[in-house]
Amino acid sequence: MNIYSKIFKIHPATLVLTGFLVAIFIGTIALKLPISTKSGAISYVDALFTATSAVCVTGLVVVDTGEYFTVFGQCIILVLIQIGGLGVMTISVILFQWLGRNISIRQRMAMQDLFTHTPREDIVNLVRSIILFTFGAELIGAVLLTVFGYGDAPLLSTVYTAIFHSISAFCNAGFALFPDSMVRYSGNLPINTTLCALIVVGGIGFPVLYDIRLWLGGRKNTRVRLSIQTKTVLLTSLALIASGALFFAFLERQSFNETQSLTHRILIPVFQSITCRTAGFNTVDIASLKEATLTMMIFLMFFGASPGSCGGGVKTTTLALITVFTYSRIRRRRRVNFFKKSIPSETVTRSVSLILVSISVIFIALFLILAGESSSSFKMADHQGAFLSCLFETVSAFGTVGLSMGITPEFGIWGKCLIILMMIIGRVGLLTFSYIIVGTGATNGLEYSEENLMIG
What are the domain boundaries of the chain? 3-438
The tens digit of pLDDT for each residue in 145-179 reads 999 987 667 889 999 999 999 999 999 998 999 99
Q: Alpha-carbon distance 150 to 346, whole Å?
A: 52
Q: How far is C-alpha 51 from the chain's CA centre? A: 15
**pLDDT value at residue 242:** 95
**pLDDT value at residue 99:** 47
**pLDDT value at residue 381:** 46
Q: Alpha-carbon distance 427 to 304, whole Å?
A: 11
Q: Within the chain, which residues score under 70 in pLDDT?
A: 1-13, 88-124, 151-152, 218-223, 257-260, 374-385, 432-445, 454-456
277 with 296: CB under 8 angstroms?
Answer: no
Q: In sequence order, what are the residues at sequence separation of 6 or more whose Cβ sits closer than 8 angstroms to the Cβ of residue 141?
A: 162, 166, 169, 170, 194, 195, 197, 198
